[in-house]
Chains A and B, each alone.
Chain A
Amino acid sequence: MLVTGIKSKPVYTPLAPDLTGRYHLMLGHGVGREPLLRVLRDLRVAAPESGARTRVLFVGSPDEQAAGGEQFRAAGAAEVRLFGRPDELLTDFQDVLTHSFMGTRLYVAGPESFMGLAMRIARQFNLNKDEVRAEECGSAARRVYCIHCQTATENVTTNIVQCKDCNRWLLVRDHYSSRLAAYMGVMVDAEAPGERPDVKEVFP
């Protein structure tokens, strides 16, 4: 069974402004602030008139919010909304998408599990690959979907993990479902009960 090197694992690339877009909507989490600032600054150089059509939704600690709010505005964002919790941001994001127009480009920067949840919402609005860009930064912790009991365990940083619902030890595979915003977890000792590799941190 392939564990790594599976092609469904998302590939992320450093963010850059997409000048074919008309409206620029940016989502950031924690250290995801830096890539978004870079996009805003590059955008201001390449297409100064587009500054008026930029909007940032950012989630972070109180300090990150304070610093981010100022920096985003200074970099040219027309509108900045700050949040203390990811779920608050995602609820607002849904509302923003409801009122957005075709021509919008979405930029997401942050930990993969945050981006996965944001992309899942974007997908419901039929935002396709050519409308969304993402850069992974921060924790590589994964959401892991237990294939046996159909529940997701959050913030998994290890090669194997115990399912929070059915308690089976799951091997975390690179097979990724954007519909579930999660990696596949499959029982690690199904063939030889009790035979488990050591727990190692692999997604810091």
Chain B
Amino acid sequence: MSVAFKPDETFRDDFTFRNSPHAIRRFPLPFPEDKYMYSVNIEAHRPGPVGSVIEFAIDVDEHYVAECRERALVLQEDPLRFQAMPHMMSAQWDCLELIMESLSRDYPQHFTLERQGNRWVWTNRPLGIHQAFTFGDPATLPQQPLDYITRQVQGDWVVMDQREGDLWAEAGMVTTQADWSLNFDIGMSFKEWHGPVPLAHEMGVFDRALKYLLGLRLNEPVRRLNWTMTVNPRLDTSPETYHRWGTDRGSVTPQNVGDKVHLRVELQGLWRLPRSNGIVFSVRGYLISMRELATIPKWAKRVHRVLRDLHPALMDYKGLTRYRDTVVGYLAPFDDGAPTTPGTAPE
């Protein structure tokens, strides 16, 4: 399908990012019930309904061009947002193949990949890129393979090496993260990397998730949803730049909350990589303002109840402490107390 891009949106300074009505209706609400607690909510990453964010393996939406520009800006200021340890080169090529194959198969009007043995030609029309290169030879690309291709796709990408019965985060492109640092975490084991997450360790979530991922099969990717909230449609909420966006959290008022506070949902995909036997973890963020969310009556009620009853440790972890009550106050008038229908469909 053809996507109508909004190339001039911004995710900083004047924050002109907005969702079209179509983008609102396809927003991946992560709450199938009126309450929220962790679970190992992993499912097969099979193609979903036409038009949904899971119709294809990798979603390209109206924000694509603008998000790629935002990524380039972040990298220009801080090149350490892309890193790869030397032993991850075959995994880098695996990722490049996965992304090029998916985009060209699912969005042929925007992307084309021609393969003749190791001679590949890649065309990315929305970004105006045409590149001939030799698969397996890093010298034929302007950047390292993972750096090169993840500049042309939305979401963050973390590549894990599998050894010693563990998964080690040893390469990645991370510019749109919810407050974690690739530069600090690179080289960590699965549980070290997830160290700052509260409660879930005690619940055994990471033991089960790790066990499961170690057995992840080729051609059988999986996905899950995660969420947090962000003040302003800011993609780069990294620890590195916390000194710039930290004050945002205190800037929420009953007057501006509808436009300022965004639910941020991560569609996380995990693929076994063929040549390296590693795993790539994609974290694709979707933002929706409270005002946009409230255009779907069921979602307004649902999110109101989830936030009102959220566990205090999760509230702290997700950085909501300073403005949760204001958001709950904004959504309360939309909640008539009537039951919601199960599932996340808008009704």
User: Do A and B touch directly, given a CB cutoff of 8 Å in the complex?
Assistant: yes
Which A positions have Cβ atoms within 8 angstroms of B?
Answer: 1-2, 5-9, 128-129, 145, 147-148, 150, 168, 173-180, 184, 186-187, 190-193
| Chain B neighbourhood of A190, CB < 8 A | 242-243, 245-247
Contact B242 A145 (CB under 8 A): no
Contact B187 A128 (CB under 8 A): no
CB of B215 closer than 8 Å to a CB of A: no
Contact bitstring B152-194, A, C-beta under 8 A = 1, else 0: 0000000000001000000000000001010111111001111
Contact A175 B247 (CB under 8 A): no
Q: Indicate which residue in A7, A128, A145 contacts B195 across the interface (CB closer than 8 Å).
A: A7
Contact A6 B196 (CB under 8 A): yes
Contact bitstring B197-220, A, C-beta under 8 A = 1, else 0: 110010000000000000000000
Chain A residue with minimal CB distance to B170? A179
| Chain B neighbourhood of A7, CB < 8 A | 191-192, 194-195, 201
Contact A191 B196 (CB under 8 A): no
Given contacts A1-B317, A145-B184, A184-B184, contact A191 B194 (CB under 8 A): no
Given contacts A2-B317, A7-B201, A8-B195, contact A192 B240 (CB under 8 A): no
In the bound complex, how far is the Cα of B198 from the Cα of A175, in angstroms?
12
CB of B115 closer than 8 Å to a CB of A: no
B231 CB → nearest A CB, Å: 10
Q: Which applies to chain A's interface (DSSP): helix, strand, loop or mixed?
A: loop
Number of B interface residues at 8 Å Cβ cutoff, please give it.
33
Contact B250 A150 (CB under 8 A): no
Chain A residue with minimal CB distance to B191? A7
CB of B316 closer than 8 Å to a CB of A: yes
| Chain B neighbourhood of A9, CB < 8 A | 195
User: Residue among A179, A180, A192 with the most chain B CB within 10 A?
Assistant: A179
B150 CB → nearest A CB, Å: 21
Contact B192 A147 (CB under 8 A): no
Which B positions have Cβ atoms within 8 angstroms of A?
Answer: 80, 164, 179, 181, 183-188, 191-198, 201, 239-243, 245-247, 249-250, 316-317, 319, 322
Q: Which 10 A-B pairs have the closest CB atoms?
A: A190-B246, A8-B195, A179-B187, A8-B192, A7-B195, A191-B246, A6-B195, A147-B239, A190-B242, A187-B243
Contact B243 A2 (CB under 8 A): no
A6 CB → nearest B CB, Å: 4
Chain A residue with minimal CB distance to B246? A190
Contact A184 B193 (CB under 8 A): no
Given contacts A148-B243, A190-B242, contact A175 B187 (CB under 8 A): no
Contact A150 B183 (CB under 8 A): yes
In the bound complex, how far is the Cα of B77 from the Cα of A127, in angstroms?
35
| Chain B neighbourhood of A173, CB < 8 A | 196
Q: Indicate which residue in B192, B240, B241, B247 contacts A191 across the interface (CB closer than 8 Å).
A: B247
